Amino acid sequence: MIRKHIIAHGRVQGVGMRFTVIGFARKYHVTGWVRNLYDGTVEMEVQGAPHRVALFMDELTSREPGGNRFIHIDNLDISDIPPVNATSETDFNARF
């Protein structure tokens, strides 16, 4: 089990990014959360089996994530963080 902390920079707010990310997470069966930050970036934490997190990241970094032509990610700050207890986090949700 691995967990990544990600900050997405670019045109990532007001374009359906959080809902697109939630769709990826559910598609690849990873857990975590996503939220908009006040500086215009989007923050998320993603946890799951390494191959599932890799699939999630591949789709996130595609030219048009999820086929959404409005999302444009210029840069991702990615760091590995310790996993949380899997029984305390069973889904992927938006935080507000």
- Please list the active-site residues: 18, 36
Amino acid at 20: T
Query: CB count, 10 Å around CB of 61?
Result: 12
The neighbouring-strand residues paired with 33 are: 45, 93
Angle CA 86–92–17, to nearest 5: 150
Q: Is 66 helix (H, G, I), strand (E, B) or coil?
A: helix
Give yes or no for a contact between 12 and 73, defined as CB atoms under 8 angstroms apart: yes
